[in-house]
Every structure is written in C-alpha cells, then in structure tokens.
Chain A
Amino acid sequence: MSASATLPLLILGSSLLPGLVIFFLPESKVRIRTALNLSGALLKLVFVGVMAWGVFNGTTYETRLPLIPDLEFVLHADALSLLFVTLSSVLWLVTTVYAIGYLEESPHRSRFFGFFSLCVTATVGVAMAGNLLTFLLFYELLTLVTYPLIVHRGTEVARLAGLTYLRYTIAGGALLMIGTVWLYTLCGTLEFTYGGFVREFASASTNRETLVVIFVLLTAGLGVKAALVPLHGWLPQAMVAPAPVSALLHAVAVVKAGAFGIVRVIYDVFGIEFAANLGVTLPLAILAAVTIVYASVRALFQDDLKRRLAFSTVSQISYITLGVATVGPIAAIGGIVHLVHQGLMKITLFFCAGNLAETLGIHKISEMDGVAHRMPWTMVAFTLGALGMVGVPPLAGFVSKWYLGIGAMAAGQEWIVAILVGSSVLNAAYFLPIIYTAWFKESKGTWPAEQPRGRAETRWTLLLPPLVTALLALGVGLLASAPFSPLDWAQLIAGREYGR
C-alpha cells in the first residue's frame, strides 16, 4: 500500500490504537495512560500536518478497502475534510490535556479515555469519509462511542440523558441510512464528488420528488446531530456529561459531525446548483434561521451556565447550515469557516464553565457574582469566547458573521441579514450579563464548593487549555486573511464548489 493510501489510516490509527490499549490498562497506571493519550494526540497532529502539506502540494490521499460487495470503504482527503480533521486533531490535544486535569483522582478513567479516543477516531473518520457509506459508518460509530461518555457518571440522571441522546441519534441514523440506501439504488454510486453526483447518475426516470424526499431524509438524519430545531432536544440534556465531554461534543465531535454532514450532502452529494434547482435550499435556510433565533431566545432564560451554553450551541451551529443553504459563494465561506470558529470559541466557553464548576462549584449564572476576581484568567478566556460569539470584531465570530452577511446580500437574500443582526443582539443579551456579573458585581464572599487554593487560580492543566483556545479564537480572527488560515481554506473550498 502506497504512502498516500496509508496516511489516512495512520491518522485514524493514532487515536484508535491508543484508545483500545487504554481500555485494558489498570486504573492505577496513570502515567502510561497519559503518555499514550498525549503521544497519540501529538502523533495525529504530525500526520495531519504532513497531510495538509501534501494536499497543498497537490497529492491525493485516498484509501480504498472492500466493505460490502460493489461498495468500498473510502477515506479521502480534500480541502473540506482537511479543515475538519485539523480542527478535531488540534482540539483533541487540548481537550485531552484538560480531561487529564479534570478527571484527576476520579474513578473509571481507563474507560473514559478509551471512549474519548474512539470518539475522536470516529470524528476524524467522518471528516475523511470519501463516500456516503463510509460517512454513515463513522457517523453511527460516533453515536455509539459517545454514549458511554454521556452516562459516564453512572447516575440516574445520566442514564436518562443517555437514553434521550440515543432516541434522537439512533432514529436520525436510521433516516440517514434509508436515504443512503435509496440514493444508492437510484445512482449506483455514493462517492463524494465536487458538484455532486446525483444529477449525473440519477437515472432519467427518477422524478424530482423522490430526490427531494431523499434530501429530506438525509438532512433530517444529519439535523439530529446538528441540533436543528425541532431535533435539538437531546443536546441540553446531554449536559450531565463531564465538562471535557461537553466541550468536545459541542465544539468538535457530535454537533459538528452533523453540520459537516449537511455541508457534504449539499456540496458533494447533490451539488449546490442541483440542490437549489430542486428547491430544497431555501426551506433549509429558513429552518436554520428559525433554529438560530429560537435557540437564542431559549438561551436567554437559562440560569444554568452549561444549559445556556448548550442552547447557544444549537443556535451557533446553524450558522453553518445557513451559510451553505444560502446559495452563494461568499455566504458559503462564512458557513464553512464557522465550522472552525464556532469550535474554538465554544470549546473555550465549556472549558471555562468546567473550571468554575470544578474549582468553585459554580453551576449557575446567579452564583457568578464577582467571580472574575477569584479566577481572572479563566474569565479572560471566557470573555474572549463570549465576545467572539456575539461577533465583536476582530474576534473569530465576527469574521463568520461578516461573510455570512455580505454573502446573503450578494445572493439577494436580505432577510438573512436581519436574522444575523437579531441573533447578534440576542447573543449579546445572553452573554454580556454573564460578563458583567463576573467582572463588575460584588462577590458574595463564599463560593458553593471551593477547592483549596493552590498557587494559580486553578490547576494548570485546567487553566492552559481555555487560554490556548481563546488565543486561537482571537488569532484566527486577527489573522483571517493570512495564508493557511481557516478563512483561506474556506475560500478554497467554496471556490471549488462554485467553480472558480
């Protein structure tokens, strides 16, 4: 097998193998486990770096293995998959460091880190899938390996949350599967192709209604993970999971896999022109817009910090869908780049929420009075993330919203601008009070459950990750026009799709 065919497998293996080994490690072998985790994460970054360099220089990375008669297991690296792979590998490394700190001394860490690694493996697989079957395979795998992370604490609440999660995701997976098989019987291929394969391969006798139904099946299946209203119900409940899991779930793994899938289906399965021609993009854009506004309003009324962040995710993730469903290259750039930007900002916010809970026992916004004086660095990171979400320049969120807005104007869909403005106002309405409470309110003097204070405001392993991701979120905003920035990649991807 040539080097270009092995690299995708190596990227998968660098988290799969450590994960499998970790399952069998005794609880007490902390050092070996940590070493395995970190070396796996670093190795993956190196492999991804090599691949990025190769793709930039025009190498095609593709692995093909037989899976089902006539259908292959295909891993493929194009610009879009590379964007997602890079995001997940970088954030996996950061989250692993965070999780090691967060779970210090807690039981069942071998199980936790085992599934954690499998979770990233599945995400990377989703990113690199070269056809819809392979995508489906990793998409379902992701469902299965996140379940043990959600019920990790073993409480009754966790069990019920896990059940809710499965109800939504397994039903969604079933829809996705029907759509996939149906599409296969019509087209005879499932390979992702620039500009989509459906128009070319669907037999002439296939009527448009069938294709619309298939599109609905696929987007509904993906919409569950992408938390499109009304399929979002599982996400706020999944908050019982430990903080690093929430961070990964919201920024990289589950939610992103759904949004990424929608991008793939529109661009590489149906093709944007054909999808627009079928008349399915406008309803999807409207659904995304409804999700953005509805979830923002819900977020306003949450006092629980993690729940507010969860509704914020529901809202923000739909920017991606909105971006690709607004038929136009500039809005597409905004949507695709938000895949990365939202990840960086949201993971920062969840790390910070985890720090507050772990160090001071704070779970509610009403308990946060003056917390910035006790934990200044955590709150600096939080503030950067939150302002980014609101869309304050020059942070990452501003860049996404700017392109989305300009793109909507260019595509002649001015109503989307109104949605963006309204959403930003709502974002400000639910994030600014938190920042105000934390920085400017008088502290009540005691915290719900304060841990003994060390030299820093909390453990280093907990403090560094949010600072790093906050800086990244600032960096990708400031350096948006630099080469190799996420924006640069997004322009490349959108350029290919719109043929220029």
Chain B
Amino acid sequence: MEVVITTFPWEVVLILAPLFGALSCFLWPKSARYLALSTVFVSVLSVVALAIRLITTGSYRHAIGGWRAPLGIELLADGLSLLMLGVTAVVGLAITVYSTGYFPNRQLLRFWPLWLLLLAALNALFLSGDLFNLYVALELTGLAAVALTALSGGRAALISAMRYLFATLLGSMSYLLGVVLIYHSFGSLDIMILAQRVVQSPVVWSAMGLMSAGLALKTALFPLHFWLPPAHASAPAPVSAALSALVVKASFYVLLRLWLEVFPPGQTAMLGELFGALGVAAIFWGGLQALRAGQLKLLIAYSTVMQVGYFFLAFPLAMAAAWCGVLYLLLSHALAKAAMFLAAGNIIYFSGHDRIVDFDRIANQLPMTLAAFALAGVSIMGLPPSGGFVAKWLMVEASLKSGQWWWAFALIIGSLAAAAYVFKVVGHAFTQTTVRGQTNAVPALMEWTALALALTSILLGLVASWPLAWLEIGGMFSCESAR
C-alpha cells in the first residue's frame, strides 16, 4: 500500500480526473451532479496521497511521456504546489457541494463542465514546471473563469465578464511576451534550468517587467484591479467564491514562483519596493471601497482587492518569515473568502437581495450563515485564533525585524479597516428592518458548507506548524530556522 502511495503519479490524476469529469458532465448532463461530486472526491483523495508521498519522499518531478526536461515537459510537485493543490481541493469540494443546492437546474448544466475545467486548469497550473505550461494553464483558468462569470446571463454579468475577459487576455499576452524573451535568450522554458542560467541583463529586465505586469493585472493588484469588483460581485455566489479564493491566487502563485526561482535576486529589489507600495495603496483603496459598499458581494469583492495588497507586501520584505506569512495568508484567505461568498450566497438565496442595511435579523434567521461570515471575517481581519492571525503575525514580525515598520503599519491599518467592514455587516444582521420581503428557506447543506469552510480558516490558526512544515518540502525556504 505504502509503495503504491509513494510511487503512483498522483499529479497526473489531479489533472486528468477533473478534465475527464468535465467531459463526462458535458456528455451525460443527467448524472452530472454525481459525476462532479465523484470527480472532486477523487481530487481530494489524490491530494492527500500526494501529500503523503511528498512528506515521505520529498519534492519530485514527473516527466510526461518519459521525456526529461530539456526535451520534454516536466511536472513539478513540491511544498508550495502541495499547499495550493490542497487549498484548491478543499475549496473545490465545498463549492461543488454547495452548488448542488444553489443553482437552478438550467444553469447547473452549464456550470458543471466549466467548473471542472477550471479545477483541471488550476491543478495543472500548480503542477507546472515550465513557463509555457504555466501560460497554457493560466489561459485556460482565465477562460473558464470568464465563462463562469457570465453564467447567470444578466446584463451586468455579461458586461463584467467581458471586461474580465479583456483584462485576463491582456494579462496573459503580456506574460507570454516575457516568456518569449526569456526563451529567446536562454533557450529553455524549464524553471529548474532557467534558475541556473538566468543572469542579470536588459532582456531579463524587460521580460521581468512584462511578466510581472501581466500577472499583476490578473491578480488585480491596485490600480489594475478595475475588472475584479464588478466580476466578483455579479457572478453567482459559488463562482465568486472560486474566483476570489482560487483564480486570483493562481496568477499570484506564478509570480511567486518566478520571483523565488527564476528572476535573479539582485534585480528584484526595485520592483519589490514598487509592488509593496502598490500593495499599500491596494490595502487603503480596497478597504475604503469595501467600507463604502452598500451591497454585501461588492464589499467582499473589495475586501479581496485589499487582501491582494497584503500579498504584495511580501516582495519588499523578501525574507523567509514574510514568504511563510504571505503563503499562510494565501491559504487562510482562500478558505475565509470562499466561506464569506458562500455565506453571502445563502443570504441572497434567503432574502433575494444583498443590500446590507436592509438585512432583517439575519442573526436569528440564518444563525449558521452569519456565524460562517463572522468567523471568516475574524480570519480576514487577522484576529486570533485564526489562520489570518498567524499570517499577520509572521508578516508584522518580518517587517519589524527588517526595520521596515511602515509595512507593518499598513498591515495593521488594513486589519482595522477589515474589522470595520466585517462588523458593519454583522451589526446590521442583528437589527430589524421595516421592509419585509419574501424569504426562501436555505437548504441546511449550504449553510453547513459555508460554516465548515469558515471553521477551517479558524482552525488554521491553531495548527499552523503543520502546513508551514509542509511548505518547506522542496527547500525553497524554511519558516522555522531562518528567523
């Protein structure tokens, strides 16, 4: 048994299973629900098996078709990819379960193939070991995400999906140009080979600029975030959850890989400072807009803009504690943000709208949903005990330790703003309104799913040492000793 787990290529299953799942959902729409559920279940099991393999044998590469790197394409599995695959599996499972209750039947038929395609693309992205593969997976992710955004088919949804499409295409194009430059000068696309060959030069400079700009656009870093709030606010709730929790992280993951492994360290300092400054701007702008938002989903979307700002604070700090902090933030934010969007979905399902001031005693009517929202909010604002707190602690520590206290200041201001907008919602959920609307009972499964995700994000604050230890597989950095 153990031999099977530690030698079987789980990474291939992780890509192929959702791909075939998507196809079969398209072919047999009647049983799509069960096909989707079993596909996601297989993915979760594969991630667990992959984790066991990585923990026992360390990071490894899988040559597709048996052709090794300079000639063939290699898949790469290390701690960083494991973290992202794990998040994708957990959030993916929750969203799949949730969607069975959320969508009306007609939309559901179109949802399944696209959703599984998105999962396949994400898994492929997190396992890619070369720049071109990353591009293909990134493009697939973007296209599937755009199609999902347009799913509800209303005017607002179509307009925002269109904007999103342009943004994501432009981003990929810019990234691809950078890849071409790199390939032209160094003759390889493989990350491991490039890591040894890339040296400081004007070509690398421009490639770095192009790739970073494209990825920043796709990650919605201020001021390139314009496409995100309308897209995330107008998509159906489970799709918004996937967009905020997973899709935004995908392009950030690519950027992180490039930064840590490909870009020559001497050249990144200036760009890091720029990223940090834009991150701070994103925190302030996102926080402000979230506070002003009158609709719950728009508020959560701006909260994502703000959290993306946090992610970029790691670049100027560029030390182990900061990387660990930001990756932990990635993890807890994914869970918490998905929980928030699913909770918002419940509220919309229940009352038919998401105007915050018109919430009518949600605390009494949907206690579990509100609990999910509030617990996820605790993680978002980085209060203990939650994954968000651990992340914030590590990042504040990194910035104070390196004497760059201003990043810590931005982090703290950001979490105060987060507290303000989370509790704005919670406060209104306790009060009564004069207008009473029609209400729909929410299926218990949907409430439980949101709560389970939120609880997981809280739990991350209590078991931080495990995920952080897994992150070290592959040896890019150590969260423990480097401090």
B474 at interface by CB-CB < 8 Å: no
Tell whether, in the assembled complex, residue A181 and residue B393 are in contact, meaning their CB atoms are under 8 Å apart.
yes
From B361, B394, B400, B465, contact of A182 by CB (8 A):
B400
A220 at interface by CB-CB < 8 Å: no
A178 CA to B413 CA, complexed, in Å: 11
A144-B378, A170-B416 given as contacts; is B400 within 8 A of A181 (CB)? yes
Tell whether, in the assembled complex, residue B363 and residue A67 are in contact, meaning their CB atoms are under 8 Å apart.
no
A98 at interface by CB-CB < 8 Å: no
Looking at A149-157, A264-272, A352-360, A387-395, the stretch in contact with chain B turns out to be A149-157
Q: How far is the CB of A497 from chain B (nearest CB, A)?
A: 28
A140-B384, A177-B412 given as contacts; is B480 within 8 A of A185 (CB)? no
- Interface majority SS (helix, strand, loop, mixed), chain B: helix
* Residues in A whose Cβ lies below 8 Å from that of B384: 136-137, 140-141
Looking at B125-133, B134-142, B428-436, the stretch in contact with chain A turns out to be B428-436
B468 at interface by CB-CB < 8 Å: yes
A185 CA to B479 CA, complexed, in Å: 15
Query: What range describes how many residues of B lie at the interface?
Result: 35 or more
**What count of chain A residues pass the 8 Å CB interface test?**
37
A154 CA to B483 CA, complexed, in Å: 47
* Residues in B whose Cβ lies below 8 Å from that of A144: 378, 383
* Residues in B whose Cβ lies below 8 Å from that of A111: 363, 367
Tell whether, in the assembled complex, residue B361 and residue A154 are in contact, meaning their CB atoms are under 8 Å apart.
yes
B99 at interface by CB-CB < 8 Å: no
* Residues in A whose Cβ lies below 8 Å from that of B480: 69-70
Tell whether, in the assembled complex, residue A67 and residue B412 are in contact, meaning their CB atoms are under 8 Å apart.
no
* Residues in A whose Cβ lies below 8 Å from that of B428: 159
Q: Which residue of A lies closest to B398 (CB)?
A: A185
A162 at interface by CB-CB < 8 Å: yes
A383 CA to B468 CA, complexed, in Å: 58
Q: How far is the CB of A174 from chain B (nearest CB, A)?
A: 5
Q: How far is the CB of A20 from chain B (nearest CB, A)?
A: 11
A496 at interface by CB-CB < 8 Å: no
Binary per-residue interface labels of chain B (3-32) against chain A in the complex, 1 for a CB within 8 Å, 0 otherwise: 000000000000000000000000000000
B408 at interface by CB-CB < 8 Å: yes
Tell whether, in the assembled complex, residue B416 and residue A171 are in contact, meaning their CB atoms are under 8 Å apart.
yes
Binary per-residue interface labels of chain A (101-122) against chain B in the complex, 1 for a CB within 8 Å, 0 otherwise: 0000001100100000000000
Q: How far is the CB of B380 from chain A (nearest CB, A)?
A: 13
Tell whether, in the assembled complex, residue A69 and residue B396 are in contact, meaning their CB atoms are under 8 Å apart.
no
A162 CA to B429 CA, complexed, in Å: 13
B427 at interface by CB-CB < 8 Å: yes
Binary per-residue interface labels of chain A (35-79) against chain B in the complex, 1 for a CB within 8 Å, 0 otherwise: 000000000000000000000000000000011111001000000
A155 CA to B324 CA, complexed, in Å: 43
* Residues in A whose Cβ lies below 8 Å from that of B261: none
Q: How far is the CB of A480 from chain B (nearest CB, A)?
A: 38
Q: How far is the CB of B85 from chain A (nearest CB, A)?
A: 22
Tell whether, in the assembled complex, residue A140 and residue B396 are in contact, meaning their CB atoms are under 8 Å apart.
no
Q: In residues 383-440 of chain B, which contact A (Cβ within 8 Å)? A: 383-385, 389-390, 392-394, 396-397, 400-401, 408, 412, 415-416, 419, 423, 426-428, 430-432
A170 CA to B422 CA, complexed, in Å: 12
A185 CA to B390 CA, complexed, in Å: 15
A144-B383, A159-B431 given as contacts; is B419 within 8 A of A67 (CB)? no
Q: Which residue of A lies closest to B462 (CB)?
A: A67
* Most chain B C-beta atoms within 10 Å of own C-beta, residue among A137, A159, A177: A177
* Residues in B whose Cβ lies below 8 Å from that of A140: 383-384, 389
Q: Which residue of A lies closest to B478 (CB)?
A: A69
Tell whether, in the assembled complex, residue B465 and residue A174 are in contact, meaning their CB atoms are under 8 Å apart.
no
* Residues in A whose Cβ lies below 8 Å from that of B361: 154
Q: Which residue of A lies closest to B392 (CB)?
A: A177
A68-B394, A69-B479 given as contacts; is B383 within 8 A of A178 (CB)? no
Binary per-residue interface labels of chain A (124-144) against chain B in the complex, 1 for a CB within 8 Å, 0 otherwise: 000000000000110011011
A173 at interface by CB-CB < 8 Å: yes
Residues of B within 8 A of A (CB): 324, 361, 363-364, 367, 378, 381, 383-385, 389-390, 392-394, 396-397, 400-401, 408, 412, 415-416, 419, 423, 426-428, 430-432, 462, 464-465, 468, 479-480, 483
A-B contacts, 19 listed (Cβ < 8 Å): A66-B464, A69-B464, A69-B465, A70-B483, A107-B364, A137-B384, A140-B383, A144-B378, A151-B427, A162-B423, A162-B427, A162-B430, A170-B419, A174-B415, A177-B392, A177-B393, A177-B412, A178-B412, A181-B393
